[in-house]
Structure 1
Amino acid sequence: MKRIRLLIQVLFISVMCLHLSFSQTQKIDSLQNLLKKTSDTTKVKILRSLGMQLRGHDKEEALEYSSQSMELSKQIGFVKGEIKALYDMGLTHGMTASYAESLDFFNRCLDLAIKHNDLDVMVDVYSSFGIVYKRIGDYPTSQAYYLKNIKLIDSLQLNRDASYEYINLGILYDLMDQQEKAIESYKKALEVYTGPDLESKESMVMANLAVIDFNNGNYEAALEKFRKRHAYLEKQKDNVALCTSYSNIGNCYLNLGQWNLAYDYLMKSLELADQLSLQQQIVAGYYGLADLMFQQKRYKEAIEYSTKNLEVLDVIGGYDQKREAHKMAYEIYEAMNQLPKAIHHLNQTMAYKDSLLNETKIKEIQNLQIQHDVFIKDKEIEQNDLQLELLNTRMVQNNRRLAYQAIIIALLLLSSVLLYFRYRNKNKSNKMLSEKNEIISQQKLSIEAMNEELEKRMLRAQMNPHFIFNSLNSIQHLINSGDKLAALSYLNKFSKLLRQVLESSMDVNLVLHEEIELLKIYVELESLRFDDSFEYDFHIDKNLEVYEHEVPMLLVQPYIENAIIHGLIPKEGPKQLSISFNDLKGYIECIIEDNGIGFNKETKPKKSLGPSRGMSITAKRIDALKKFSKEKLLKIEQLNGGPETGTRVVILIPKEK
């Protein structure tokens, strides 16, 4: 079922692309001539149009035109042109399966569109994100972007057709095997559509519903919907789409066992595809006819169509199509008991497979190889028996000893040949397994590295809410106390602090200089919050390269917060906080020292209202750094040994992580 689903979707996309390509050559020539006579914004638009026209022919040339469009837009201050050029480069990379580059350009385009409030481009980018993530198999992320786009269109009441998003969402749900949601999305697409061509939209939805019925084995229902779609296409005289429609109807009849009708429609599809030079549809036609002949046990005709299918695929075919074509050839040859050819096509099927050989396929190959070996051995034994019979008839005239020696030599040679082929096949299998094991090992290392990075980002992300909520509590305290001037001053500083935190929200690490500046703002805010009741100073080692080294963001802040809240504020008299950053060999040493009330290990701590989120998260972050050092990275000690002695916290941060 999945093969049919993917085949129909691939054919639909390919046919639409080919349908648009017939008039592109003349457009490209016309645009290139016009480019020589224009300048400024008109030139930007022509360069962009050339990039769009060429993306189906020459990726590098298309990207070059789009890049020129972007650079010219920057030079003349045409922001709209720059945004469009970034979007075009994202589309070009996406259409050529360079998905990492595609997402990069889409993100840059989205940032610029948000900055300049270009809502139309935001809608296009969200839709493109959904398509790219669907293609790379990240269905949840794709779904999130489609829903985000629909929400953006609805909430801002944009003059955009949201029905396409609901259709895309329906296709996505179908791929996720959530067919009820898919059907709901298709129905919703028709509800929200307000354009002039409702019949076209209904026809498109009908085709997608037919795919669901086909994949569920409801071939009668699928056939009815495909025929309605076909009637619309005939009225529109859309020969390119009709070619796909003939193929879909033919496949329905094929699965219903109506061979004559299946043959008629598949042949119509093949003939029309040949007239229009639609290579992908030609492949589909040959495949369907080979399947039809195979099911009718007309193996000779099935082989002819299968061979033609493989010949076309050698020129234009993709991986999935070649795998399916070789699989079909394997099944036909196996049914004909032509085991060597069956083995060849099965090996080709496995060679195109994108995952490890599974146990079932290995057994199929081994069983076929054993059958082949037995077949050859039986044939050779039959030949030897004939030779023995001939030798027996001449036994009176010939030397019996020579005859036996010849037989022994023949058997030895046969055994040697069999042993050699067995040894060679075993080595080949071992080599293949070794290569697969190496790939698995590399993938395991990559996954472990990704997990480690995700864990760091998770801990970093958990710090931001803790840090922001503490600051908001301080603002609330000042407002409740009626100190409006202090509250406004605090809010102004907090906004600067919050901006700096959010600007670095995507980074796990931060340059040491920026981290120190962030901590200074934080301590200043806390000082303002407590009416300047404590003094503080920062000491930075002059040998420390603060612009070179990076540190985990907000790693030190919870210990500073602890020193102020639990050490200094409860104390009476002068209060002093000292924060130092020193340069050690291989480490950055941070010392947080206060003259507060300290801590008493013998007394039990007071029962808190909840867990210390900041300290617990920071402890986990420091634990994550231990893999880079054998030293003790955190040391907390009480000063002077008396009451109200103060506390010193020493944190070692490895320079090389």
Structure 2
Amino acid sequence: MNRITKYFLFVAMLFCSCGYFSQNKKIDSLLALVKRDNSSPVLGRLGEEDTNKVNHLNNLGWQLRQSNPDTAIILSNQALAIAEKVGWKRGIASALGNLGVYNWLKAEYPKALEYHFKALKMSEEMGNKNGIARQLGNIGIVYHNQADYPKALDYYFKALKMTEELGDKNGIARNLGNIGSVYKDQVDYPKALDYYFKALRMAEELGDKSGVAKHMGNLGSVYNYQADYPKALDYYFKALKMAEELGNKNGVAANLGSIGTVYASQSNYPKAINFFLKALKVAEELGDKNGVAIWLGNIGSHYIATKKYGEAEKYLLEALNLCKEKGALNNERSIENNLSELYTKTSRFELALTHYKKYIVARDSIANDENAKKQTRSEMNFEFEKKEALTKAEQEKKDLIAAEEKTKQKLFLWFTIAGLGIVLVVAVFIFRSLQLNKKKNKIITEQKEMVEKQKEIVEEKQKEILDSIRYAKRIQTALITSETYILRKLSDLKTHK
């Protein structure tokens, strides 16, 4: 059975249980679109109909990512199958990126990295800088969750540089905040504050109230860690006010709880309990059972500090039941420990021992689970790094071949340029020689013409002179009596005598 056929079977199953997923209008709308898409086959060529199918599946998966990441994974895998069949690279990159996020939500970090790196490569092939920036940031988030802070910072800074080149101010603010969070986790509070303030200023410039609220909350947490409680409260209250204005109930609950934590750090337990109760109320309104369990546990543990043991027991037992229902072993461990402390203080030692033993079981179970997960992650990381090394080696080989080809092309280009240069020099030399000869010939011709002209002038002058002489001679001949005439006249005179 091929992937496309599985897609239609899955969609049919999805609609059999659509009431379970139909949590809001957006999901309802996307379900309707996917149902409509299901009525027509995949054409197998790049066109609007198939690209819409890919988008609808990807978007529906994205909406379900928090409530049901497993279903989101199935949807994006089907989107990936269709996108690959029709050869739509943008759809492939989108599906791969989404699969990375869904695996990250499940704490499947090696898988998440594998998908994000594939999405990054696809985005680079397309020259999609926005996609590249997004995947760089996502890779940074995964490394951050793995507490691999150097790699997290490396990818966050790469993402920051790309968003700066794009002029994407929302992306810049997001990456600045992420960098601040890494420094906070490294207990480098001055740097954390520096980047959180940069992120806050950027969010304020953009008028991004949601971002402003988030970064103010982050600043509050750093000041709380630094035991600068007045500043911590100042920023938490500002973040709370903004979350209330935005109608962001999750943000409201988180900031109320954070304010309670600051008061608890100052041993002001009545105020701490008051804010935990407010956070509990909002979590109940949201139907957030995990949040409800956390705030019930916090209220119970702080009632122990105020010696209100009856109230403490009521809240802790309610929190314990919710943790068991949700399988929240980490919270269950803390509550079992608090109950053991409560029963010890109220001299109910048998119950104290029972809950202490349960605390030990939960603690060891978490440790074993964490060790197993650590081992699995190590194995998966090894496989991933091995695969990454092979990919890197292949890429380096390709890069080397490409570099050699590029060098050959450069040499060919240089030889061509050199050849053309020589031809050009020879051509210039010949041209100059021709021009010089032409110039010389012109001068010779001009000189020859000048000589001829001068010769003509001289000849003309000579002719003029000869003509003058002849003319003068004629005049002279005309004016002077001839010798014969004179002799004849003299002879006549002699005869008359």
- Considering the TM-score relative to the shorter chain, is it more than 0.5? yes
What is the CA–CA distance in structure 1 between the aligned matches of 2:65 and 2:154, rounded to whole Å? 28
Q: Is the 8 A contact 1:323 1:352 kept in 2?
A: yes
Q: Does 1:322 align with 2:332?
A: yes
1:121 Cα offset (Å): 0.9
Contact 1:251 1:288 in 2 (8 A): no
Corresponding position of 1:288:
298
Deviations 1:131-168 (A, max 9, x none): 11111222221111101111222245457531011111
Alignment correspondent of 1:172: 182
Q: Deviations over 1:105-141 (max 9, x none)?
A: 1111111111111111111111111111111222221
Q: Give the aligned residue type for 2:162.
A: L
Structure 1 SS opposite 2:171:
coil
In the alignment, structure 1 residue 101 sits paired with structure 2 residue 103: no
What CA distance in whole angstroms lies between the structure 2 residues aligned with 1:177 and 1:355?
A: 29
What is the deviation of 1:290?
1.0
Change (3 A) 1:209 1:323: same
1:340: which partner in 2? 350
Which secondary structure state, in structure 2, belongs to the residue aligned with residue 177 of structure 1? coil
- Distance (whole Å) between structure 2 residues aligned to residue 160 and residue 275 of structure 1: 31
2:323 is the counterpart of 1:313: yes
Q: Which amino acid aligns with 1:282?
A: V
Match of residue 153, structure 1, among 153, 159, 163 = 163
Q: Which digits, 9 at most, give the CA deviation of each residue in 1:434-481, with x for residues without a partner? A: x99xx89x96xx79x97xx99xx79x99xx89xx8xx99xx89xx9xx
The answer on 1:29 being equivalent to 2:39 is: no
2:272 is aligned with 1:262: yes
SS at match of 1:353: helix
Structure 2 runs not aligned, ≥5 long: 1-21, 41-48, 417-497
Which of 183, 186, 190 is the aligned partner of 2:196? Answer: 186
Shift of 1:487: 9.1
| Amino acid across the alignment from 1:35 | D
Stretches of structure 1 that go unaligned for 5 or more consecutive residues are 1-19, 358-434, 490-657
- CA RMSD of superposed structures (Å): 3.8
Confirm whether residue 279 of structure 1 aligns to residue 289 of structure 2.
yes
SS at match of 1:55: coil
Are 1:303 and 1:332, in contact at CA under 8 Å, matched by a contact in 2?
yes
Change (3 A) 1:213 1:196: closer
Tell me if structure 1 keeps the 8 A contact 2:160–2:171.
no
Query: 1:90 touches 1:103 (CA, 8 Å); kept in 2?
Result: yes
* TM-score normalized by the length of structure 2: 0.65
Is contact 2:329-2:366 (8 Å) kept?
no
CA distance in 2, matches of 1:125, 1:44: 19
Query: How far, CA to CA, are the matches of 2:169 and 2:271 in structure 1?
Result: 45
Equivalent in the alignment of 1:64: 74
Tell me how far 1:181 sits from its aligned partner: 1.0
Structure 2 distance, partners of 1:21, 1:76, is 32
Q: Return the offset for 1:210.
A: 0.9
Q: Deviations over 1:163-211 (max 9, x none)?
A: 0111111112111111111101111213444754244433222111111
Equivalent position of 1:229 in the other structure: 239
Taking structure 1 as reference, are residues 195 and 43 closer, same or farther at Cα in structure 2, changes over 3 Å only?
Answer: farther
**Deviation at residue 66 of structure 1 after TM alignment:** 1.4
- Name the CA shift for 1:245/1:98 in 2 (closer, same or farther; >3 Å): same
Distance verdict in 2 for CA 1:84–1:195, change over 3 Å? farther
* Whole-angstrom distance in 1 between the partners of 2:153 and 2:413: 46
Provide the identity percentage: 21
Per the alignment, do residues 488 and 101 of structure 1 end up closer, same or farther by CA in structure 2, a change over 3 Å counting?
farther
1:218: how far off?
Answer: 3.0
Q: Distance in 2 between matches of 1:26 and 1:150?
A: 36
Provide the C-alpha distance between the structure 2 equivalents of 1:305 and 1:76, rounded to a whole number of angstroms: 56
Aligned to 2:17: none
Counterpart for residue 578 of structure 1: none
1:332 maps to amino acid: L
Q: What's the TM-score once normalised by structure 1's chain length?
A: 0.50
Q: Which amino acid in structure 2 is aligned with residue 201 of structure 1?
A: G
**For 1:236-290, what per-residue CA distance to the aligned partner results, in whole angstroms no more than 9, with x for missing partners?**
3333322222222223233333343333322222223223322122112212211
Tell me, what secondary structure is at the counterpart of 1:352? helix
Q: Shift of the alpha carbon at 1:350?
A: 3.0
Task: Name 1:110's counterpart in structure 2.
Answer: 120
Structure 2 counterpart of 1:301: 311
CA distance in 2, matches of 1:184, 1:243: 26
Query: Residues 242-253 of structure 1 correspond to what in structure 2 (within 5 A)?
Result: 242-253=252-263
Aligned residue in 1 for 2:83: 73
Return the alpha-carbon distance in structure 2 between the equivalents of residues 212 and 159 of structure 1: 24
- One-letter amino acid of the structure 1 residue matched with residue 316 of structure 2: S
- 1:52 touches 1:88 (CA, 8 Å); kept in 2? yes
Q: Kindly tell me the number of residue pairs found equivalent between the two proteins.
A: 371
Aligned to 2:62: 52
